[in-house]
């Protein structure tokens, strides 16, 4: 395969990754709504650990676990920002600074 073939493959992979990230964001939003409507605790520190463990367990390379973790730190940051905007737009209590993942 030539460079242009690999780039076309990367572009197709990126479109699939974007689609999955969108689905993931919708699920994070759904959890945010459920937390708002129930008495469940907002802050669940173990959840972030579970996410990273799941990601590392699924990793078959060639990316080292630490690099994949770097990507997931950013993904979790972005999902948290999305939930914060959602909470703020609903006028909910936004002093939940202890909520690391929101998921």
Size of site (CB under 8 A) for a copy of itself: 54
Do you know the residue count of the chain? 103
Q: Which helix (H) or strand (E) holds 84?
A: helix 65-89
16 lines the binding site for a copy of itself (CB under 8 A)? yes
DSSP code string of 15-58: HHHHHHHHHHHHHHHHHHHHHHHS-S-S--HHHHHHHHHHHHHH
- Which of the residues 19 through 58 are near a copy of itself (CB under 8 A)? 19-31, 34-35, 40, 47, 50-51, 54-55, 58
To a copy of itself, the closest distance from the beta carbon of 97 in angstroms equals 19
Give the residue, chosen from 39, 46, 60, 93, that forms a contact with a copy of itself under the rule CB under 8 A. 60
Q: Which is nearer to a copy of itself, 34 or 88 (CB)?
A: 34
Rounded distance, CA 48 to CA 45, Å?
Answer: 6
Residue 76: count other Cβ atoms within 10 Å of its Cβ.
Answer: 19
The contact set with a copy of itself (CB under 8 A) reads 1-3, 6-7, 9-11, 13-31, 34-35, 40, 47, 50-51, 54-55, 58-63, 67-68, 70-75, 77-78, 81-82, 103
């Amino acid at each position: 395969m030539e460079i242009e073939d690999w780039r076309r493959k990367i572009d197709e992979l990126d479109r699939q990754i974007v689609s999955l990230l969108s689905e993931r964001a919708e699920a994070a939003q759904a959890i945010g709504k459920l937390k708002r409507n129930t008495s469940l605790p907002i802050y669940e520190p173990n959840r972030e650990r579970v996410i990273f463990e799941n990601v590392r367990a699924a990793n078959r390379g060639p990316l080292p676990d630490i690099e994949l973790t770097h990507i997931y730190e950013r993904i979790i940051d972005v999902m948290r920002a999305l939930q914060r905007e959602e909470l703020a737009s609903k006028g909910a209590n936004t002093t939940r600074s202890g909520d690391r993942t929101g998921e």
